[in-house]
């Protein structure tokens, strides 16, 4: 078993680490304070080829593997989780379903700009009454005269309201199966389509540099050719999409946990109490040791899950789903513990927004919720164990 990264993977990691340190991290506090989307950073990320990392060159991608993409997510999130989730949502949730399930024409029309980072595509699954219970989708789409007529709403949709947002893939109830079960399909809805309304942005606890909106569909019409994949295939498509997304969120969590450890260790070596740096006090040393151990364990399970996902070649096995759930669960909970301990080590200063650990503490909670809650991950793991 080889735990070493390839030369190409190390090069991508180092490129993203340098970019995060020189460009992302210095802007993070201001972006967070102003709740401002990082257009210039996104433009530079596009020029670096980050939005096309895990996709084939024939579609305008960089031809790298899925682990390389996760390395990029990790390093960017170490600088700012809001920037990390912008890339993750654009790739795992936006471009990947089109790449994996789209027709040749859909790919030709949409992927070049998405993989270049010139435009962003969103993914609309969650609804006011359908979060963890995604099968309870209430948004409806009826085929009338060669058009899908959509009515419903989506919420918590990332990258849906920026100046470069191009559209959204949504799940919708399109009928009933022969057995009477809901038939859920995926539809591509371009921005500017009449009846498609991007509502005002949320006031969020964290991820202030990312873009998140509720969406409404009132008599929204898209061509019949806007169906993504086969009719009735939406449920299986989003389960496939979320598996890769969970591994990417695990990578985001690893990056944020590492940022917490970096900040706590640096502060502990400088802050003097009782005549010596607090890093010399065993109570603080134990916190730092636990953080370092859990970050490394999170990194290992995430890289393991990423490798299993890329080796599956799109045919997701129970093992791949289990590893993805484990990586997402353990890494997200690790990042929350790391943020909590980083604030504790900073003492009163950890409660002050002048120190980045306050931002980390606000940013981290959503990792346990988005793209499948911790509770759902435990259910998935237990299911794969045969319980």
Q: What's the token pair of residue 168?
A: 């959204």
Catalytic option among 270, 371, 375, 384: 371
Q: What's the token pair of residue 102?
A: 């789209």
- Of 90, 57, 223, nearest in space to 147 by CA: 223
Residues 6+ apart with CB under 8 A from 42: 86, 117, 120, 164
Report domain 7-120's class: mainly alpha
Question: Torsion over CA of 31, 33, 37 and 43, rounded to 10 degrees?
Answer: -10
Whole-model pTM over 0.85: yes
Sequence spans of domains, the chain: 7-120, 122-232, 235-384
* Level-2 CATH architecture, domain 122-232: Beta Barrel (2.40)
Q: What's the token pair of residue 158?
A: 């990332």
How does pLDDT run across 91-123, given as a tens digit for each residue? 999 999 999 999 999 999 999 999 999 999 999
Residues 6+ apart with CB under 8 A from 18: none
Phi-psi region of 173 (alpha: psi -120 to 50; beta: other; left: phi over 0): beta
> Does the annotation count 371 as an active-site position?
yes
Q: What's the Cα-to-Cα distance from 317 to each of 134, 313, 328, rounded to whole Å?
A: 21, 10, 17
Using a 10 angstrom Cβ sphere, with 0-12 exposed, 13-18 middle and 19 or more buried, the burial of residue 275 is exposed
How does pLDDT run across 177-216, given as a tens digit for each residue? 888 889 999 999 999 999 999 999 999 999 999 999 999 9
Please say whether the beta carbons of 334 and 356 come within 8 A: no
Mean pLDDT of 363-384: 96
**pLDDT recorded at residue 271:** 97
**Hey, CA dihedral for 154, 102, 95, 377, is it positive or negative?**
positive
Q: Do domains 7-120 and 122-232 have the same CATH topology?
A: no
For domain 235-384, the question of CATH label 1.20.140.10 is answered with yes
How does pLDDT run across 281-319, given as a tens digit for each residue? 999 999 999 999 999 999 999 999 999 999 998 888 999
């Amino acid at each position: 078993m080889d735990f070493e990264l390839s030369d190409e993977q190390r090069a991508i990691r180092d490129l993203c680490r340098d970019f995060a340190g020189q460009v992302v991290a210095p802007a993070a506090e201001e972006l967070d304070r102003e709740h401002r989307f990082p257009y210039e950073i996104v433009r530079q990320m596009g020029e670096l080829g980050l939005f096309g990392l895990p996709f084939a060159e024939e579609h305008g991608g960089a031809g790298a593997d899925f682990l390389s993409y996760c390395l990029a997510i990790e390093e960017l999130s170490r600088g700012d989780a809001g920037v990390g989730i912008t890339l993750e949502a654009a790739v795992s949730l936006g471009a990947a379903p089109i790449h994996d399930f789209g027709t040749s024409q859909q790919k030709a029309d949409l992927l070049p700009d998405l993989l270049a980072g010139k435009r962003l595509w969103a993914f609309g699954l969650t609804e006011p009454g359908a979060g963890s219970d995604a099968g309870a989708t209430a948004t409806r789409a009826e085929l009338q005269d060669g058009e899908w007529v959509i009515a419903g709403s989506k919420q918590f949709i990332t990258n849906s309201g920026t100046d470069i947002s191009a559209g959204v893939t949504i799940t919708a109830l399109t009928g009933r199966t022969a057995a009477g079960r809901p038939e859920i399909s995926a539809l591509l809805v371009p921005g500017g389509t009449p009846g498609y309304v991007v509502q005002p942005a949320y006031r969020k606890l964290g991820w202030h540099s990312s873009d998140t909106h509720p969406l409404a569909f009132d008599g929204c019409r898209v061509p019949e050719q806007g169906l993504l994949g086969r009719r009735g295939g939406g449920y299986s498509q989003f389960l496939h999409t979320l598996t890769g997304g969970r591994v990417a969120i695990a990578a985001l969590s690893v990056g944020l946990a590492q940022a917490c450890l970096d900040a706590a260790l640096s502060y502990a070596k400088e802050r003097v109490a009782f005549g010596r740096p607090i890093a010399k006090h065993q109570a603080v040393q134990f916190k730092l040791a636990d953080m370092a151990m859990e970050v490394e364990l999170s990194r290992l399970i995430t890289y393991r899950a990423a490798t299993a996902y890329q080796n599956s070649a799109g045919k997701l096995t129970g093992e791949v789903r289990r590893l993805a759930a484990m990586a997402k669960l353990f890494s997200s909970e690790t990042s929350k513990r790391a943020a909590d301990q980083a604030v504790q080590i900073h003492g009163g200063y950890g409660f002050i927004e002048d120190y980045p650990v306050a931002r980390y503490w606000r940013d981290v909670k959503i990792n346990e919720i988005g793209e499948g809650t911790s509770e759902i991950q435990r259910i998935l793991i237990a299911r794969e164990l045969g319980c």
